[in-house]
Structure 1
Amino acid sequence: MDKQELIKAVQKVTGYNHEDVRRIASCVFDVVAEALAAGDAVTIRNFGQFTVREVSGRTTKDIGTGRLRWNTDSIVPVFRPSKPFKLLVREGWGTVKGRAGA
């Protein structure tokens, strides 16, 4: 599901018009991104937590040339799902994908 499909699904459930749902979704994504850029965590109860994590630099091998190169330290966004969210996905996976007892 991409952003447009998400907007259409929310529109169908809420009955709001497409433009209003698009603006709200864009605002939510922007606020989450800005909070993470500021170093804050965003917690959505029964869904999960968005945080940032520092990744230390390391040496990697360039597959094309075979040479070693140094990757510098960086900061990456991380999503940690909540327990209820994990259970919901796990239960839904079996019904959607036709997996018995998955």
Structure 2
Amino acid sequence: MNKRELVDALSERMSSNKKEAAEFVDAFLEVIQTSVAKGDKVAITGFGSFEKADRPARTARNPATGKTIQVPATSVPKFKAGADFKNLVAGKK
């Protein structure tokens, strides 16, 4: 499912127009992204949590040439699924 399909599904489920559903999706994602970028954890009970994870600098290998390269430290978003979400995907619910 891509963003357009998500907007369509939400507009049908909420009996609203697609413009309102698109604005909701955009606002929802923006709040999560800015919060995580600031270092806050966003937890949605039953669904999961989003947080910022720091990756340390490391040495890696270029698979094409075999040369070692230095990869700088970076921050990445991390998602951990909640119990209800895991159970739904596993077919236990």
Structure 1 and Structure 2 fold alike (TM over 0.5): yes
| 2:27 maps to 1:22 | no
Count of residues in Structure 1 that have an aligned counterpart in Structure 2:
92
Q: Name structure 2 gaps, 5 residues minimum.
A: none
Moved over 6 A (4+): none
Query: Larger relative contact order (C-alpha < 8 A, sep ≥ 6)?
Result: 2
The structural deviation recorded for 1:64 is 2.0
Q: Deviations over 1:14-64 (max 9, x none)?
A: 111000000010000001000011100001111000011111111111122
TM-score of the two chains, using structure 1 as the length reference? 0.86
| Distance (whole Å) between structure 1 residues aligned to residue 61 and residue 73 of structure 2 | 16
Q: Find the counterpart in structure 2 of residue 6 from structure 1.
A: 6
Percent pairwise identity: 28
TM-score of the two chains, using structure 2 as the length reference? 0.94
| Distance (whole Å) between structure 1 residues aligned to residue 52 and residue 25 of structure 2 | 21
Q: Name structure 1 gaps, 5 residues minimum.
A: 93-102
